[in-house]
Structure 1
């Protein structure tokens, strides 16, 4: 092909290419000129896409390996466990916890108290004595003034606890005090606490040692509050009192 023929074809090919802005705008508006993105997606391609999605879902459903909401849960949710009948908590355990909250500061974890300030509970004739009504009355209403414990004079005050604790809670505390530090005496049931609480419900003042010792001794702890006459001697199985003289026990 000669150079003249090549030169003559160039104008024909260049006629299809817009050379000015006006020609470009005319070509855009010409429906015969194809534009990028201006076309219809073939139906067969749409069908292939939908078939692929359907097949993928069916495959994952059939071969999920158990990883589904009703089979696999990395945060399992447990329903209530049926453990059968539950036993009541040990009063001594409850009593020790309550004692540690409010009583241990004065009477100490050893039950020995603080010399000259707060009396001991270990070996106390009031704590271990059969006259449990006096022991309960002291704890309910409090005690003030001088007392003699194990031959040592103590002149201090103990607050009333009747407003802070229920009958069951006081029962647990007193039962714990009668069973720790070498003490060994029968438990004091809640019914005994209620009986003494009701008996002195109108009293507002703390007890004194003289008033406590004037109360007729009753073993209200037996049979849940029977009024058997009792002395201040240790209960059967209890530790002997450290002093022969009757001494009132501050809590």
Structure 2
């Protein structure tokens, strides 16, 4: 298993899409945070405002599936989909006597860690650096740091399910373009459900999805019950999606 993970890391670092996405994440994040810090771009009414961290408001976009989907689906498309031949069968050289579930978990682990780096870690680091560069470091009080830690832990936990969704789509569609397209469509549909289902039974169902929990993760003064609910939802969806990935990969033809 360790050898498989090392092989996947080797494939990742040789993937140009990964480096392009990293560079784009760093540059874009710095730009967005600087625009907020110089008051050129004013964003209000966010959970970060409630926490007294308005200087970090650009992070609000990085918690939206429609936004971070672009980087995660692109990485999944050019990293996972490349393992399939044009006929949709698994390339024989990726099996090499290994169990398919081991191959999946090694690929999923590397995809998830690299996606978290691009969509979570780099935006947060650039936000913190930008705040200190502009002389607003005093906003990081112990209580606000605790809020950020909990928010990003809960967010990242839900993020594990999202990368499983991207991986599943990449395995099912067997095509990089379709992976990006279908993942984007799902994100748009979930956004539409969130905006249009208020006060209906559909809203109750939506609240049991990881897409809803992305918003809950950053809620200021979140209750212990809401934290537990978020963990349970993320755990259940994560297990279901991982099992679906393994089932789908096991039934792929080898060529």
Q: TM-score range by the shorter chain?
A: under 0.3
From the two aligned structures, give the one with the greater helix fraction: 2
Structure 1 length as normaliser, TM-score? 0.26
Larger RCO: Structure 1 or Structure 2 (Cα < 8 Å, ≥ 6 residues apart)?
A: 2
From the two aligned structures, give the one with the greater strand fraction: 1
Structure 2 length as normaliser, TM-score? 0.26
- Structure possessing the higher radius of gyration over alpha carbons: 1
